[in-house]
Amino acid sequence: MSLILIIDTSTQNCSVALSKNGNLIDSMDFNDNTYSHYEKLPLLIKNIFLKNKFNIKKLEAVAVGKGPGSFTGLRIGISSAKGICYGLKIPLISFNSLEILTRTFLNNFCIEDNATLIPVIDARRMEVYSCIYDINLNMKEHTSAKIIDKKTFSITLAKSPCHFIGNGSAKIQKIINNENASFYEKIYPLASSLSMISYEYLKQKKFENIAYFEPFYLKNFVNKNLNKLII
């Protein structure tokens, strides 16, 4: 029995899922826009095992969203995943959180064969974390932090229908007016979307080095307190 715990905390949505042999057993999500993952994630993990009557010691792996996304959220999710893996001596699997976001979208929408998928996670101010996929999840542009203006994504928008997915899409919609653009602000990365692919990674032994694995921040963390004048 290949039991896998899946976690993503890259956005304001705190998401966990439990899968067995690639099949989703259950999922739990908490989203109140407060990024209270420190409090909610341990409860979600505890409750998903209690509800489904599984012992956490039966886990064979943990899969986690590695980022990019919320600095604090990523630290909490990845620290929890690594702690479980260390304690149980089981492997750690990771996924780009933009891929998780795109898989969540594809699980819920039917789209054009020639569509372009652009997952976008809010990076504050006028920036987003983004990459570009086709509908078969082939990456067409690697993950980067983009400053949004009227020219951003203009080349891609000229070629095909583009679906902007995630909590960064609202700021794009305010600036980019294009008939090829569709926006899905309320789609979040859901752990449940990784049930099958995490099982495939387990079989292929695509594991992270737990000791050295770090969140994929993409940008340097800025401590706002450092900007305050100390007298």
Do 3-97+189-227 and 109-184 have matching folds?
A: yes
The one-letter code for the residue type at 126 is M
Q: What are the E-state strand segments in the chain?
A: 3-8, 13-20, 23-31, 61-67, 92-96, 116-122, 127-134, 139-147, 162-165, 181-184
Domain ranges of the chain: 3-97+189-227, 109-184
> From CA 105, how far away is CA 184, in angstroms rounded?
9
Query: H helices within the chain, ranges in order?
Result: 37-52, 71-88, 97-106, 154-157, 169-175, 195-204
The CATH topology of domain 109-184 is Nucleotidyltransferase; domain 5 (3.30.420)
- To the nearest whole number, what is the mean pLDDT of the chain? 93
Residue pLDDT, tens place only, 60-111: 999 999 999 999 999 999 999 999 999 999 999 999 999 999 999 999 999 9
Sequence length of the chain is 231
Residue pLDDT, tens place only, 202-230: 999 999 999 999 999 987 644 443 333 32
Q: What CATH architecture applies to the domain 3-97+189-227?
A: 2-Layer Sandwich (3.30)
Overall pTM surpassing 0.95 (yes/no)? no
Residue pLDDT, tens place only, 124-135: 889 999 999 999
